[in-house]
Amino acid sequence: MTGHQDETKAAYDGVVELYASLFADRLETQPFARSMLGTFAELVRGTGNRRAADVGCGPGHLTAMLNDLGLDAFGLDLSPAMIRHARQAHPALRFDEARMESVPVEDCSLGGVLAHYSMIHTPPEEVPVLLAEQVRVLAPGGLLLVSFFGTDGQEPVRFDHKVTPAYSWPVDRFAELLTAAGLTPFARLLHDPASERGFLDAHLLARRP
């Protein structure tokens, strides 16, 4: 798993300022994604455990949004440059360098995990490892919100992402992975893309029983 992660880390280290400037306020023009984040935060609050991880947090803008929505959220990212930027931009919040297959928290401790387009660079055969780690850290009743590029067909599709190669997923196929990991998918939102790639924007909500 190390090879592609090292490439992804180097790629994002090199575009921190540009990436942050493009995405820091992007949800202001994405009402569907914003709505799903709000729903996720409300449901996590309802569990009584407001502690949540934003895995693959990038510049930290969604970590800050989750805190504004009443969660005790912290951000994790494999890019040290992204973590430095997030700490400077949001000094009151916690951000740590970490890989998604090794989340530095104890078992069954989180009310929520957000994975907002943060698994798109992971080869399909390695995604179950990441999902297993997210199940590990979620408390019973905890929630995962995962967002990704959706596509038709039966198999994931590799494409040239502007930063580093990525994959789009058939939504039903990704939901099957969530189920296989021990989660219960219960809500999904698909909508037309905000980009020129033509993929759907896909959001899946799942709960750990």
Q: What DSSP string describes 25-76?
A: TGGGG-HHHHHHHHHHHHHHHHHT--EEEEET-TTSHHHHHHHHTT-EEEEE
**Tell me, what's the pLDDT at 25?**
62
* Rounded Cα gap, residues 180 and 88, in angstroms: 38
Q: Is-contact 59 116, C-beta < 8 A? A: no
Contacts of 162 (CB under 8 A, 6+ apart): none
* Rounded Cα gap, residues 53 and 50, in angstroms: 10
Low-confidence ranges of the chain (pLDDT < 70): 1-4, 6, 9-26, 28-29, 163, 193-197
pLDDT per position as a tens digit, 86-97 = 999 999 999 999
Structure tokens at 7: 């490439």
pLDDT per position as a tens digit, 21-57 = 666 666 766 888 899 999 999 999 999 999 999 999 9
Please state the pTM of the whole predicted model: 0.91
Q: What is the CATH number of domain 2-207?
A: 3.40.50.150
